[in-house]
Each structure stands twice: as structure tokens, then as C-alpha cells.
A and B are shown apart, each in its own frame.
Chain A
Amino acid sequence: DAGVTQSPTHLIKTRGQQVTLRCSPKSGHDTVSWYQQALGQGPQFIFQYYEEEERQRGNFPDRFSGHQFPNYSSELNVNALLLGDSALYLCASSLRQGSTDTQYFGPGTRLTVL
């Protein structure tokens, strides 16, 4: 049973560029959430997707956007990258909409913005 997978593992970008991160949920899960984890901090909720729509959103600017596909996989897009966007981006999947359901995390994508 495959767990949550994310790609790429590492990514280096320069300020002003755009980036797309990808996530495949655990088998049988239909909800995907994205988190940003800055160095030395806990994960911060970005948004959650269910039935191909953004259902909940944390306190992140519109530069952060996402998408969920019919197979439940998801993308996180960040435009106009800033140095402060450097972080580990974590994807988590769960069985159905609602943050009360147990979330299982992928290994993350390490984004470095130069």
C-alpha cells in the first residue's frame, strides 16, 4: 500500500520565479492538504482540496494556489517567489473532507529560493 508521495524531493528557484509541487495521496484517500514548514518551526496550514475544489484555506497570500485532479492527486503552485518561501512543503492526505480525519504526511519537497 503506497503512502503519500511528493515530487520533486528538492528544488532550487530564484526570486520572482514560479514553482509547482506535486502530491499523490495515500491509496483510498480523497482529500489533500498542503503545509509549509519553515526551518525550526511547525507546519503551517496552506489549504485543503476535496472534490477538486479548495475547501479551506490558511493565512497565505493568493500567490499560493492549488489544484486537485480527478484521481485525487494535487499540485501546489507558488508564483512570484520570495526568499521567505524557502521551506519544506508537506502534503497530507485523508479519507474525506474535514480536518478531523487523520492526516498522513508525505516526505515533503524542500524548496530553496535564492
Chain B
Amino acid sequence: AQSVTQPDIHITVSEGASLELRCNYSYGATPYLFWYVQSPGQGLQLLLKYFSGDTLVQGIKGFEAEFKRSQSSFNLRKPSVHWSDAAEYFCAVTGNDMRFGAGTRLTVKP
């Protein structure tokens, strides 16, 4: 079965600094990969997704992610973080069903 690992439980960055959130997946076939964001007490909002094609995908709110098959990774990036980006971020992979990582909590310092 597929699985997702998000190695960083909590990351703190300064406002305006760049951000990279790591995601590693395990799946035997070509994965379908997603990044979702969750604000406290809220549901999940889709940031971006990768199905096939260009390995660099653009999402909403200025986020992008790069699929690297050789590294089984799908890291999320943003060049300049805003205070409103503080939230929990989840990477997910689909196979027979959708599997989520444990999440990375992002704190943004003023």
C-alpha cells in the first residue's frame, strides 16, 4: 500500500523568507500527489496536485512543488512566506485510496 512521510513535524520561518516542506512517498506505480493546507479547526484546502507531465507544478497562493521520481519526493516550496501562510500542511498520495502524511505545522515569525 502507498504511504507518505513528512519528516518535519514543525517548521518556523521568518516572514519574507523562503520555505520548503518535505514529502517522501512510497508507491509501486506512478503516484498521484497532492498538497493540502489546513488552518486551525478547518477542513483541507487543495494547494496543488501532480498527476503527470511537467514535474514542477504551480498551485494557489504562490506555492509550487517538484516531483522527483528518483528521490520519491514531492517537496512544497514558496519563495517568500506571508504571515497568513501559518497553518498545517499535508502531503497525500493516491493509489487504492488516499493516504496522508502526519503533517507539518508552519509557524511564521514577524
Contacts and interface: CB of A to CB of B under 8 A. Distances in A.
A43 B97 contact: no
Contacts, number: 53
Interface residues of B, number: 24
Interface string B15-41: 000000000000000001010100001
A99 B1 CA distance: 13
A108 to B, nearest CB: 5
Given A33-B98, A42-B101, A99-B97, A90 B44 contact: yes
B43 A108 contact: yes
A43 B49 contact: no
B100 A100 contact: no
A33 to B, nearest CB: 7
Given A106-B43, A108-B42, 11 more contacts: A6-B43, A42-B102, A43-B90, A43-B100, A56-B97, A58-B97, A90-B44, A100-B94, A102-B49, A105-B43, A110-B41
